[in-house]
Amino acid sequence: VLVGKGLCFDTGGISLKPAKDMEWMKYDMSGAGGVMGALEAIARMELPVNVTALVGSTTNMPSGEAVKPGDVVRASNGKTIEIINTDAEGRLVLADLLVYAKRLEPAAVLDAATLTGAIVIALGHRAIGLFGPDAELVDEVRRASERCGERGWPLPVWEDYREQIQ
């Protein structure tokens, strides 16, 4: 299953991002764009694979009905999530997509998303961060990314980070 976050425009919601460079927030859909591009490439190359693509698309804009800090929302698996910063909406979109993907019982799930500027601080603009519990799959993705010029670098998901990840 290929999963892509598609925030077509992300102002940050009520937790508004700074106005400088706001026009670049249209790229918060890059994960979804990558998944759609991958699906097109798979189809054009007529690869003998069974693949499902899931894309979660929306916008994150302030309005009278916008989610507010302190609100509690219910994910599709029934878990509740307290909103602290409305600019973390991408995690909510991905959470529901990943819950749905799990129901499909796939051999593997690859998700693509622009989730945090901290990755840019860690790796710069020349590489993507790779995360995952399956080290073999992460390394396979890393090697494939090297071959096509889209470098990726594995980042740790140690048990020490579990609380922060949740």
Rounded to a whole number of angstroms, the CA Rg of the chain reads: 17
Beta partners for residue 7, in sequence order: 58
Give the integer Cα–Cα distance in Å for 152 and 116. 15
Matching residue, tokens 């994960």? 31
Give the integer Cα–Cα distance in Å for 69 and 87. 10
Is 102 catalytic? The answer is no
Is 91 catalytic? The answer is yes
Give the integer Cα–Cα distance in Å for 23 and 80. 32
Continuous segment of H or E residues that includes residue 72: strand 72-74
Give the count of alpha carbons within 13 A of 73, CB side only: 17
- Catalytic-role residue among 26, 79, 91, 143: 91
Give the integer Cα–Cα distance in Å for 3 and 53. 6
Residues identified as active-site = 17, 91
